[in-house]
Structure 1
Amino acid sequence: MSGNSRPRTTTFVDEGSSSSKWGESGGGGGGGSGSNTSYVGIKKMAKDTKIMTVIASHGHSQGVMDRSTEVSYKDTKVIGNGSFGVVYQARLCATEELVAIKKVLQDKRFKNRELQIMRRLEHCNIVRLKYFFYTSGDKKDEIYLNLVLEYIPETVYKVARQYSKSKQTIPVFFIKLYMYQLFRSLAYIHFQGICHRDIKPQNLLLDPESGVLKLCDFGSAKHLIRGEPNVSYICSRYYRAPELIFGAVDYSTNIDVWSAGCVFAELMLGQPIFPGDSGVDQLVEIIKVLGTPTREQIKEMNPNYTEFKFPQIKAHPWQKVFRARTSPEAIDLVSRLLEYTPSARILSLQACAHTFFDELREPGTKLSNGRDLPPLFNFLPVELKNMPSLNSQLIPAHIAAENAANPPESSSSGAQAGASSANASAADDTKSRPSASGSAEDLID
């Protein structure tokens, strides 16, 4: 993880404390320190139960006035922490809905990139930012940004670990379901020029009942601009693309595709495919499988890399990397994801159209609990516009027929509503491509 991209948090508020530090809040805009400070009340609801009321701003910036609103929540408890800060679980008083509140130290000199990016994203496979607000810290001029996110109970990491403890691997059907949704989320952000830069099982949230997967933790994400340098020490080690190990600073969103390939391989194997102990050892693990990269491949990964002293090792056949019963479609997909040459990797939307996922497109396919599949084909126009040639592969015939009979404008049923609209809109040049620049140019790496 890049030390430059996430300031370390040194003090946290005790979840049981009645300190006003939680309630000293600045509402409004998308960055800065919240100069218009509002002091909120903490009321006793019952014995040992507190209701926190804060002045917050709406999370999504498109189509919503940047206005402040009162948000009350209760039942706060710590559910995670790290160098980035701390994550709380809470319950919104108005709806009784569970939320996650991610609290990070805000550098007043810069806008918070995670906030800026999340306010632009609205997708069924990306965790939703509901509100955000600011609180003061223990030190003078110390300001914390609090991101109020939808709460989703599980992660792919936890589910995979449960199977691993039982000496089993996740059923292939669920691997298809989870990976498909991951590729959808990546296709959506990549089209906007946003690179997540920390794809790993821990950042893939799961609702085990509905089968919905949502990508979370945009603390390392960045809008990449060709020609502008980025830090290479990014992404968790097991999932770090080889061009990052070679020190590339002008990389692309293809580093996320590599990471997704590592996740895919891990789910099939039941363990990480490249478990390096260090940056150098990580490259050794990759070479054991892919073989020694050629000079041309190294040049594609980082033109400025000049050290070419590597032992010549042949690639290990993919069929021998995985279990004997692994399908040819799965092996083909992973081989297209885990390519040394970044530009040779399959794109995320192309991955969604891969034959490995055809089972999800078959009529009548349901979850093992008998429930319908989560929305998989409700593509937004922005998702399909860039590669209209894939539309017929991405949207199953039975879904297209259903939507033709019940246009989204008049249909409210809709688990998969919107697919035919997106299909038709893909070639509609009247809709402009959304701006991906935002204010990323104002931010540090």
Structure 2
Amino acid sequence: MTGRAVRERIRGSNKEMLDDDTVEKYLSTAKVKSGKDGSKVTTVVATPGQGPDRPQEVSYTDTKVIGNGSFGVVYQAKLCETNELVAIKKVLQDKRFKNRELQIMRKLEHCNIVKLKYFFYSSGDKKDEVYLNLVLEYIPETVYKIARHYSKSKQTIPISFIKLYMYQLFRSLAYIHSLGICHRDIKPQNLLLNPETGVLKLCDFGSAKHLVRGEPNVSYICSRYYRAPELIFGAIDYTTRIDVWSAGCVLAELLLGQPIFPGDSGVDQLVEIIKVLGTPTKEQIKEMNPNYTEFKFPQIKSHPWQQLMLTKMSMPRSGTEHQKIRVFRARTPPEAIELVARLLEYTPSQRISPLQACAHAFFNELREPGTCLPSGNELPPLFNFTDHELSIQPSLNSVLIPRGIQTGQSSGESSTAQDTTAPGAASEHGPSDSASTPLQNASGSTLVVNGARASVPAPTSPPPPVPRPDHHPFEPIVQKTKGASGRDEGTRATPGPSANCINERVVPTVWCVLHLGSQEPGRTGRTQRREG
């Protein structure tokens, strides 16, 4: 099959024509009037995101632009009836096809996925120009912004928050992958975050696709820093495990304070990966893309992830030199490094599934009774698994569900599934990772070692300081701690009003240089969105 034939096949796969009747059905003419306070009120006829098609009038006001790009424009607005803030994503619609993002979002209902409230079509300024408007729940922050907040302070995000963010990301991925849906653009910018409640929600399904085994897909997808190696090798029959790789890159970035693979181009991206993982073997390349025939790579050995100080080989144009670099900061938990290693595997089938990641020992602290946010507030819902979620990999349920937690509660959907992967999705099966590792509750009352519990005395600590008025809700309250000699032993993040809150010891950040050139923390590759 020629390259052109493949492109045409990809372009036509998994796409449905958008007929004029559909446009006419959902097309809405906005009515604008002045409110009682003189504000501009816009009224449209919109259809609810979930459930039956029952168009209704929806009025909103206080509209302002909060984002724009090649995809379109995002507005913030306030619904007049409920005073609820929403985000309206307005994208130019190709009338030849139905919008894949809309089709997918209407199927999704999960506590860690941004909710589609309404949608409607609107006419543009030009003839035959049609826009799709997605009315989404508004969530104020992103993980990217939170990471930058710490980066500017020369700190990395506390481990406790990394656990909270990543657990919810993996849970959302487990849900969409069970439906055969691949997001294809996992990155910190697409992880919405409510800093008051700690709730994380996956957003932006503009690149998402329902993967069907045997149907080709474009390989030039996903933002560069988070692009799986099989995509770099040009694979068109990849699986949902490309999202798992991207999630591993996000986890590593939060641990490091900067991207782990900051490539300047597609080729350079592969070089950055090879510096850490070593040169892929022919067998690994075949697993990533059976049709790839070029095997001319510099031979670099992989390094054990557990080594904090790694010897990474730089590859100048002439000669070879070695440079010792620190990949992870010295106090990074070994469970975190082990989880990164399980996610960033060359062979897609060897990467653990999102649900296996949720069951990993790295997240054991979240399952400890009494754990809460540093503000003293309760953790967001983490264990309200639906029957659908519990049926994805039942063998993991005993690890996923803490004792005393009611299961089968609704988090937005109640469909059922078997202990098999949805058609077209990557296999979710693999060895269970449920080994216990040492973890202490912040109160000091319980110590867990290899599944055994023992009572330990509560540590003595100074009273918590009072938060500053400008204190960021997800910034630990830091205070000095002194040893028996009276000398400062470092700084300590104080959980706040509750003694059982997630406690975090903050140490000076050891900045990690992964790229031989200078890189700005948080820099991302541009998202490529193409049909297929």
- TM-score range (shorter-chain normalised) is 0.7 to 0.9
Q: How many matched pairs?
A: 395
Tell me, in whole angstroms, the C-alpha distance in 2 between the residues paired with 1:259 and 1:30: 38
After superposition, residues 196-235 of structure 1 pair within 5 angstroms as 196-235=183-222
Pair 1:132-2:119 in alignment: yes
- Residue number in structure 2 paired with 1:59: 49
After superposition, residues 103-252 of structure 1 pair within 5 angstroms as 103-252=90-239
- Residue number in structure 2 paired with 1:391: 397
CA 112–283 in structure 1, closer or farther in 2 if over 3 Å, else same: same
The DSSP-based 3-state class of the residue aligned with 2:24 is coil
Paired residues of 1:379 and 1:418 also in contact (CA < 8 A): yes
Match of 1:77 among 46, 64, 70: 64
Tell me, in whole angstroms, the C-alpha distance in 2 between the residues paired with 1:395 and 1:179: 17
Paired residues of 2:178 and 2:421 also in contact (CA < 8 A): no
Paired residues of 2:147 and 2:257 also in contact (CA < 8 A): yes
Q: Deviations over 1:375-404 (max 9, x none)?
A: 00001111121211111100001324xx6x
Tell me, in whole angstroms, the C-alpha distance in 2 between the residues paired with 1:268 and 1:30: 50
Tell me, in whole angstroms, the C-alpha distance in 2 between the residues paired with 1:273 and 1:248: 22
Paired residues of 2:181 and 2:209 also in contact (CA < 8 A): yes
CA 435–334 in structure 1, closer or farther in 2 if over 3 Å, else same: closer
CA 126–225 in structure 1, closer or farther in 2 if over 3 Å, else same: same
The DSSP-based 3-state class of the residue aligned with 1:39 is coil
- Residue number in structure 1 paired with 2:323: none
Q: Provide the aligned C-alpha RMSD in A.
A: 2.8
Tell me, in whole angstroms, the C-alpha distance in 2 between the residues paired with 1:35 and 1:252: 35
Tell me, in whole angstroms, the C-alpha distance in 2 between the residues paired with 1:85 and 1:185: 25
Task: Quote how far apart the aligned CAs of 1:34 are.
Answer: 3.0
Paired residues of 1:382 and 1:433 also in contact (CA < 8 A): no
The DSSP-based 3-state class of the residue aligned with 2:35 is strand
CA 392–383 in structure 1, closer or farther in 2 if over 3 Å, else same: same
The DSSP-based 3-state class of the residue aligned with 1:399 is coil
Q: Deviations over 1:69-125 (max 9, x none)?
A: 000000000000000000000000000000000000111111100000000000000
Q: Which has the larger radius of gyration?
A: 2
Task: Quote how far apart the aligned CAs of 1:33 are.
Answer: 2.4
Paired residues of 2:26 and 2:120 also in contact (CA < 8 A): no
- Residue number in structure 2 paired with 1:284: 271
The DSSP-based 3-state class of the residue aligned with 2:92 is strand
Percentage of matched positions with identical amino acids: 75
Structure with the larger helix share? 1
Task: Quote how far apart the aligned CAs of 1:418 are.
Answer: 5.4
Pair 1:368-2:374 in alignment: yes
Tell me, in whole angstroms, the C-alpha distance in 1 between the residues paired with 2:371 and 2:191: 23
Paired residues of 2:26 and 2:121 also in contact (CA < 8 A): no
Tell me, in whole angstroms, the C-alpha distance in 1 between the residues paired with 2:351 and 2:65: 39
Q: Specify every segment of 5 or more residues in structure 2 that has no aligned partner in the other structure, as ranges.
A: 1-6, 12-18, 309-326, 426-529
Pair 1:96-2:96 in alignment: no
Pair 1:307-2:294 in alignment: yes
Paired residues of 2:47 and 2:53 also in contact (CA < 8 A): yes
- Residue number in structure 1 paired with 2:385: 379
Equivalent residue letter for 2:215:
E
Paired residues of 1:110 and 1:444 also in contact (CA < 8 A): no
**TM norm structure 2:** 0.70
Equivalent residue letter for 1:39:
T
The DSSP-based 3-state class of the residue aligned with 1:184 is helix
- Residue number in structure 1 paired with 2:512: none
After superposition, residues 258-337 of structure 1 pair within 5 angstroms as 258-318=245-305, 319-320=307-308, 321-337=327-343
Match of 1:49 among 39, 46, 51: 39
Q: Deviations over 1:293-333 (max 9, x none)?
A: 00000000000000000000111332322122211111110
Q: Which has the higher contact order (CA 8 A, sep 6+)?
A: 2
**TM norm structure 1:** 0.84
